[in-house]
Structure 1
Amino acid sequence: MSHKSIAIFTWGLDGGAFTNLPVALTKGFWNLGVKDLYILYLSKGPAEDITFPEGVKLVSLGVERSMASPIALSRFLKTAKPDVLIAMPTIISIPAIMGWLLAQQRQTKFVIYQGDTLTSDIAIDHKHNLRMQIMPWLARLLYPTANGLTTVSQGVLDILKQDHIPIPRNRVAVIPNPVDVENFLVRSQAEEPEHPWLRHKDSPVIVSLGRLGKRKNYPMLLQAVAKVRSHLKVKLIIFGEGPERKNLQELIAKLGLQEDVSLPGHVANPWSHIAKADVFVMSSLDEAFCLALVEAMACGVPVISTDAIGGGPRSILEDGKYGNLVPTDDVQALADAIHKVLTSQSWRSHLIDVSKQRCQAFEPEAVAKQWLSFLQQV
Structure 2
Amino acid sequence: MVSGLPPKSGDAFDMSSNLLKGQIFSGPSKVVPKALSGRGSDAVWLYVATLSGGGAERVYLRLANHYAQTGRVVRLVVNRAEGPLVPLVAPGVELVELGVGRALAAVPRLTWALMRERPAALISALTLSNLVAVSAVQLARVLGGARVRVLISERNELTRFTGQMPKLKRVLVRAAVRLLYPLADKISGNAQGVVEDLAARLGRNPASFPLLSNPAPESDQIEAARLAPVPHPWLAEAGPVALAMGRLVDQKDYPTMLRAVAQADPKLRLIILGEGPREAALRALVAELGLSARVDFAGFQMNRFDYLAHADLFLLSSRIEGFPNALIEAVAFGVPCVATDCAGGGPKQILGVAVPQALVPVGDHAAMAQAINAMRAEPPAPETLEAIAAQYRIEAISERFLQEVLP
**Taking structure 2 as the reference length, what is the TM-score of the superposition?**
0.81
Amino acid at match of 1:137: A
Whether the 8 Å contact between 2:273 and 2:297 is mirrored in structure 1 is yes
Based on CA coordinates, which of the two structures has the bigger radius of gyration?
2
Partner of 1:305: 339
Partner of 1:225: 261
Residue correspondence of structure 1 range 79-98 to structure 2 within 5 A: 79-98=116-135
| 1:295 Cα deviation from its structure 2 partner | 1.0
Instruction: Report Cα offsets for 1:46-96 as digits up to 9, x if no partner.
Output: 8564143x5433322222333321111011100111121111234411122
Counterpart pick for 2:111 among 74, 77, 100: 74
Whether the 8 Å contact between 1:314 and 1:320 is mirrored in structure 2 is no
Determine the C-alpha separation between the residues in 1 that align with 2:86 and 2:110. Answer: 25
Amino acid at match of 2:212: I
Between stretches 74-83 and 333-342, larger displacement belongs to 333-342
Whether the 8 Å contact between 1:181 and 1:295 is mirrored in structure 2 is no
Partner of 1:259: 293
Give secondary structure in 2 for the equivalent of 1:173. coil
Partner of 2:160: 120
Whether the 8 Å contact between 2:89 and 2:95 is mirrored in structure 1 is no
With over 3 angstroms needed to count, the CA separation of the structure-2 counterparts of 1:260 and 1:109, relative to structure 1, is same
Give secondary structure in 2 for the equivalent of 1:262. strand
Partner of 1:208: 244
| 1:27 Cα deviation from its structure 2 partner | 4.3
Determine the C-alpha separation between the residues in 2 that align with 1:265 and 1:132. Answer: 31
| 1:190 Cα deviation from its structure 2 partner | 5.1
Q: Does 1:272 align with 2:309?
A: no
Amino acid at match of 1:111: L
Whether the 8 Å contact between 2:188 and 2:211 is mirrored in structure 1 is yes
Determine the C-alpha separation between the residues in 2 that align with 1:50 and 1:323. Answer: 36
Determine the C-alpha separation between the residues in 2 that align with 1:228 and 1:284. Answer: 18
With over 3 angstroms needed to count, the CA separation of the structure-2 counterparts of 1:44 and 1:10, relative to structure 1, is same
Whether the 8 Å contact between 2:243 and 2:271 is mirrored in structure 1 is yes
Partner of 2:13: none
Q: Which runs of 4+ in 1 moved over 6 A?
A: none
Amino acid at match of 1:204: P
Between stretches 279-288 and 363-372, larger displacement belongs to 363-372
Partner of 1:100: 137
Instruction: Report Cα offsets for 1:132-162 as digits up to 9, x if no partner.
Output: 6642222112111111111111111111233
Whether the 8 Å contact between 2:275 and 2:300 is mirrored in structure 1 is yes
Between stretches 241-250 and 284-293, larger displacement belongs to 241-250
Give secondary structure in 2 for the equivalent of 1:206. strand
Paired residues, what number?
364
With over 3 angstroms needed to count, the CA separation of the structure-2 counterparts of 1:155 and 1:16, relative to structure 1, is closer
Whether the 8 Å contact between 2:264 and 2:373 is mirrored in structure 1 is yes
Give secondary structure in 1 for the equivalent of 2:152. strand
Counterpart pick for 2:402 among 362, 366, 372: 372
Whether the 8 Å contact between 1:184 and 1:299 is mirrored in structure 2 is no
Q: Percent identity?
A: 29
Determine the C-alpha separation between the residues in 2 that align with 1:177 and 1:361. Answer: 10
Between stretches 298-307 and 69-78, larger displacement belongs to 298-307
Determine the C-alpha separation between the residues in 2 that align with 1:38 and 1:98. Answer: 19
Whether the 8 Å contact between 1:148 and 1:168 is mirrored in structure 2 is no
Whether the 8 Å contact between 1:74 and 1:99 is mirrored in structure 2 is yes
| 1:184 Cα deviation from its structure 2 partner | 3.6
| 1:202 Cα deviation from its structure 2 partner | 3.3
Residue correspondence of structure 1 range 339-378 to structure 2 within 5 A: 339-344=373-378, 347-348=379-380, 350=381, 352-375=382-405
Partner of 1:147: 185
Q: Does 1:250 align with 2:278?
A: no
Determine the C-alpha separation between the residues in 2 that align with 1:130 and 1:238. Answer: 35
| 1:129 Cα deviation from its structure 2 partner | 7.7
Q: Quick one: higher RCO (CA 8 Å, sep 6+), 1 or 2?
A: 1
Determine the C-alpha separation between the residues in 2 that align with 1:287 and 1:102. Answer: 33
CA-based RMSD of the aligned residues comes to 2.7
**Taking structure 1 as the reference length, what is the TM-score of the superposition?**
0.87
| 1:322 Cα deviation from its structure 2 partner | 7.4
Determine the C-alpha separation between the residues in 2 that align with 1:252 and 1:169. Answer: 42
Whether the 8 Å contact between 1:153 and 1:311 is mirrored in structure 2 is yes
Q: Does 1:26 align with 2:56?
A: no
Give secondary structure in 1 for the equivalent of 2:363. coil
Partner of 1:286: 320
| 1:21 Cα deviation from its structure 2 partner | 1.0
Determine the C-alpha separation between the residues in 2 that align with 1:245 and 1:204. Answer: 24
Q: Does 1:185 align with 2:222?
A: yes
Whether the 8 Å contact between 2:247 and 2:274 is mirrored in structure 1 is yes
Determine the C-alpha separation between the residues in 2 that align with 1:252 and 1:96. Answer: 42
Whether the 8 Å contact between 2:338 and 2:372 is mirrored in structure 1 is yes
Amino acid at match of 2:75: Y
| 1:110 Cα deviation from its structure 2 partner | 1.4
With over 3 angstroms needed to count, the CA separation of the structure-2 counterparts of 1:363 and 1:133, relative to structure 1, is farther
Instruction: Report Cα offsets for 1:228-270 as digits up to 9, x if no partner.
Output: 14xx411111111112112212222222212211112212312
Determine the C-alpha separation between the residues in 2 that align with 1:375 and 1:269. Answer: 32
